[in-house]
Amino acid sequence: MKSLIEYVAKSLVDHPEQVQVREAASEDGVTLQLEVAKEDIGKVIGKQGRTARALRILLSAASARARQRVMLEIQE
């Protein structure tokens, strides 16, 4: 899952070398923390959060197939 989010995020931003995805285990499952450059935060979130919502939907579909719960947090 981590590599999927990293690949999509690097495709969206202007500074792909600054994309970092960290994985943290929690009680509910796994939380992926996405961090990008300050200039690129708007591109990852999108208008009215549409891009972020699409990333979460993509992640939920992939995690359902793997039978695990994965959540995405976008760090500022």
Q: Give the model's pLDDT for residue 76.
A: 81
Q: Give the model's pLDDT for residue 32.
A: 95
Domains, the chain: 2-75 (3.30.300.20)
Q: Give the model's pLDDT for residue 71.
A: 93
Q: Token pair of 14, please?
A: 């202007």
pLDDT (tens place) for every residue of the chain, 76 residues total? 899 999 999 999 999 999 999 999 988 899 999 999 999 999 999 999 999 999 999 999 999 988 899 999 999 8
pTM of the model as a whole: 0.86
Q: Give the model's pLDDT for residue 38.
A: 95
